[in-house]
A and B are shown apart, each in its own frame.
Chain A
Amino acid sequence: MTAPSAVRTASASGGGRTKSKSWLATVPLLAFVILIFGVPLVIILGGTFKREGAFSAANITESLQGAYLTALLGSVKLSALVAVVGALLGTFLAQAVVTSRFRLLREAVLTASGVLSNFGGIPLAFAWIATLGNSGVITKALGLDSAGWSLYNFWGLALVYLYFSIPLMVVVVVPALDGLRPQWREAAQNNGANTWQFWRHVGIPVLTPTLLGGVVLLFGGAFAAYATAAAMVGGTVPLVTLQIANALSGNVLIGHENVALALSLDMIIIAGLVMAVYLPLQRRSARWLR
Chain B
Amino acid sequence: MAALTPEGPVAPLTPPAVASGPVGGAGRPRRIRVWRGAILAIAAIYFLVPLIASFTFTVKAPEQDFSLDAYGQIFSAEGFGRSLLLSVGLGVATIAVVLLLTLPAMLAVRLSIPKLKPVLEILCTLPLVVPPITFVAGITTVLRLGPDYLASTPFYQTIFAIQDENFPIVLVLAYVILALPFVYRSLDAGLGAIDVRTLVEAARNLGASWPHLIFRVIVPNLRSSLASASFLTLALVLGEFTIASLLNFQTFPVWIYTISGSQAQVSVAVSVFSLLITWLLLLVLSSAGARQRSGS
Interface residues of A (CB under 8 A from B): 2-8, 10-11, 13, 18-19, 22-26, 28-30, 32-33, 36-37, 39-41, 43-44, 47, 92-93, 96-97, 99-100, 105, 111-112, 114-116, 118-124, 126-132, 135-138, 140, 163, 166-167, 182, 185-186, 189-190, 192, 194-195, 220, 223-224, 226-227, 230-231, 241, 244-245, 248-249, 260-261, 263-265, 267-268, 271-272, 275, 279
Q: CA A275 – CA B101 in complex, angstroms?
A: 25
Contacting A at CB under 8 A, from B7-35, are 16-17, 20, 28, 32, 35
- B261 shortest CB reach to chain A, Å: 11
Which of A36, A96, A226, A279 has a CB less than 8 Å from the CB of B132?
Answer: A226
- B192 at the A interface (CB under 8 A): no
Contact (Cβ within 8 A) B133 A115? no
Q: CA A16 – CA B4 in complex, angstroms?
A: 64
Residues of B close to A192: CB separation below 8 A: 4
Which of A24, A138, A244 has a CB less than 8 Å from the CB of B53?
Answer: A138
Tell me whether A36 and B174 are in contact in the complex, defined as CB-CB below 8 angstroms, given that A4-B214, A122-B271, A126-B260 are known contacts: yes
**CB-based nearest A residue for B232:** A118
Contact (Cβ within 8 A) A271 B130? yes
Contact (Cβ within 8 A) B4 A123? no
B interface residues, tally (CB under 8 Å): 95
Residues of B close to A26: CB separation below 8 A: 104-105, 108-109, 113, 116, 120
- A172 shortest CB reach to chain B, Å: 13
Contact (Cβ within 8 A) A126 B140? no
Q: CA A98 – CA B52 in complex, angstroms?
A: 26
Residues of B close to A220: CB separation below 8 A: 128-129, 131
**CB-based nearest B residue for A193:** B1
If over half of B's interface residues share one DSSP class (helix, strand or loop), that class is named, otherwise mixed; here it is helix
- B253 at the A interface (CB under 8 A): yes
Contact with A along B129-146 (1 / 0, CB 8 A): 111111111111110010
Nearest first, the 7 A-B pairs at minimum CB distance are A40-B138, A224-B131, A123-B271, A264-B134, A25-B108, A227-B241, A130-B57
Q: Please name 10 further chain A to chain B contacts, defined as beta carbons within 8 Å, in addition to the given A22-B113, A43-B141, sorted by A numbering.
A: A7-B107, A10-B111, A32-B176, A122-B241, A127-B272, A185-B20, A190-B4, A194-B1, A267-B133, A268-B130
If over half of A's interface residues share one DSSP class (helix, strand or loop), that class is named, otherwise mixed; here it is helix
| Interface-located stretch among B73-81, B84-92, B278-286 | B278-286
- B194 at the A interface (CB under 8 A): no
Instruction: Give 5 CB contacts A-B under 8 Å.
Output: A25-B104, A130-B58, A167-B47, A224-B132, A275-B129
Contact (Cβ within 8 A) B131 A11? no
Tell me whether A25 and B105 are in contact in the complex, defined as CB-CB below 8 angstroms, given that A226-B132, A226-B133 are known contacts: yes
Contact (Cβ within 8 A) B40 A96? yes
**CB-based nearest B residue for A107:** B286
Residues of B close to A265: CB separation below 8 A: 134
Residues of A close to B180: CB separation below 8 A: 33
- B189 shortest CB reach to chain A, Å: 12
**CB-based nearest B residue for A124:** B271
Q: CA A131 – CA B17 in complex, angstroms?
A: 44
Q: CA A261 – CA B123 in complex, angstroms?
A: 22
Contact (Cβ within 8 A) B104 A122? no
Tell me whether A261 and B268 are in contact in the complex, defined as CB-CB below 8 angstroms, given that A123-B274, A248-B246 are known contacts: no
